[in-house]
Structure 1
Amino acid sequence: MSDPALSAAPLRDVTVWYLEQTSPADLKPSAAPAAGVTVVRSRTALPEFSRFLYTAVGGDIRWTDRLGLSYAGWQEILERPGAETWVAYEDGTPAGFIELDAQEGGAVEIAYFGLIPAFRGRRIGGHLLAYGVARAWDLAERHPGRKPTERVWLHTCSDDGPHAMDNYLARGFRLAETRIEREADAANPGPWPGAYA
């Protein structure tokens, strides 16, 4: 479902980078986070929680592609075979998440990854990314019948946070492709209406 506000917005160029790992040995560890940081798999497919994470993390970096989804649309994404969401918490408060999307042929996409703005710059992102990528590499162990992971990939873009690319490269991802795409120049939606007004 397209957002009418986005279809009326002017277009702008966005650089999109595709990165990949092709072996578990590619994954590089991160520095340990501060005390009180844990990463837990969200095992219940709960659209309300998933949408909260999506808007809280992506509201200031133009994540808009899922905003028009219905409850059933969110549920369908969360219940795909091999889909997993891992959430970082600091002292019991959600700090960010990484969403894995198992695909055909042994590929796993890091569909979404990021931190809520208040938790950025605190050594949580590198830890969460390394933890999530390790879970992408061992995903078949939790999903019997799935082919073992042969490739973990993601895409990021020029709208992403200033440290995102450095984090991906530091965790062992390699640049596979670069594209320039035309996208609607929409305002940052934020986690609630007017959050970044």
Structure 2
Amino acid sequence: MAIAETGAPLSSGFHALAPGDLAAVVTALEMRSPPPSLKRLVPEADVPLQLVRWKAPDPAKYRLLYRRVGAKWLWWSRLALGDDALAAIVHDPQVEVYAVADRAGVEVGMLELDFRQGGEAEIAFFGLIPGATGKGFGKWLMRRALQRAWSHDGVARVWVHTCTLDGHQALPFYMAQGFVPYARFVEVFPDPRGLGLLGDEAAQVPILG
């Protein structure tokens, strides 16, 4: 997701939202060099997961996994795109989409790396389904993400963003992996449940009215 850095800063105090809108504080984080930990050999025989590259994924298949991973956190931006618009992104040769699969071949997570901006790699989407979290698999997935991001020629910066709608552990997790926060924004957007893009997911975020 591109982060817009234009517009006047908000003034102090409370700011009312339009009915049906949500707001989130977005923190952008970056890494300017590979962390030393990437050079160390880490035994991973006990991690029952693998990354599977999805080249030119079918939009419907992509949305299904995207929703399984992100519905709880109100991921919605890709659900709002039609097939052509979505395919233009995920079929781009500079965008790499991976499914995280268990030993039975069931997809339990996703990783998307975006290299379309020269010299940069964005970890555009990164996550596991709720049943696969809390088991240390996130560190395994981040290691794989960083190995692939830094393996591309010319990459001088890897960045990611998270927001206050994500799990409370997301921001400290990224910082623990070596990312440094560099910017903060407020994003206002229509509640995707009100748009019919999601159902009654994300009970932790009440629907007003």
Give me the TM-score of the superposition, normalised by structure 1: 0.80
Equivalents in 1 of 2:30, 2:19: separation in Å?
A: 32
Instruction: Name 1:11's counterpart in structure 2.
Output: 21
| Correspondence for 1:21 | 31
Q: Identify if the C-alpha distance between structure 1 residues 138 and 190 changes in structure 2 by more than 3 Å, giving closer, same or farther.
A: farther
Higher relative contact order (CA 8 A, sep 6+): 1
User: Which residue identity is paired with 2:31?
Assistant: Q
Root-mean-square deviation (CA, aligned residues, Å) is 2.9
Show the counterpart of 1:54.
66
State the identity as a percent: 32
Structure 1: segments with no counterpart, 5+ residues: 1-7, 141-147
Task: Indicate the structure with greater helix content.
Answer: 1
Paired with 1:189 and 1:80, the residues of 2 have a C-alpha distance of: 27
Q: Does 1:106 align with 2:119?
A: yes
Matched, 1:157 2:163: yes
Q: What is the SS of the residue equivalent to 2:73?
A: coil
User: Structure 1 residues 164 and 34, CA, compared in 2 at 3 Å: closer, same or farther?
Assistant: farther
- Larger gyration radius, structure 1 or structure 2: 2
- Asked if the contact 2:56/2:87 (under 8 Å) is kept, the reply is no
Matches within 5 A, 1:1-197: 9-25=19-35, 32=44, 34-91=46-103, 92-140=105-153, 148-187=154-193, 193=199
Letter in 2 for 1:105: G
> Alignment length, in residue pairs?
184
Q: Who is 1:143 aligned against?
A: none
Q: Distance in 2 between matches of 1:174 and 1:155?
A: 11
Letter in 2 for 1:129: M
The question of whether the paired residues in 2 share the 8 Å contact of 1:33 and 1:124 is answered with no
State how far apart, in whole Å, the 2-side matches of 1:61 and 1:156 are.
11
What is the DSSP-based 3-state SS (H/G/I as helix, E as strand, rest coil) of the residue aligned with 1:152? strand
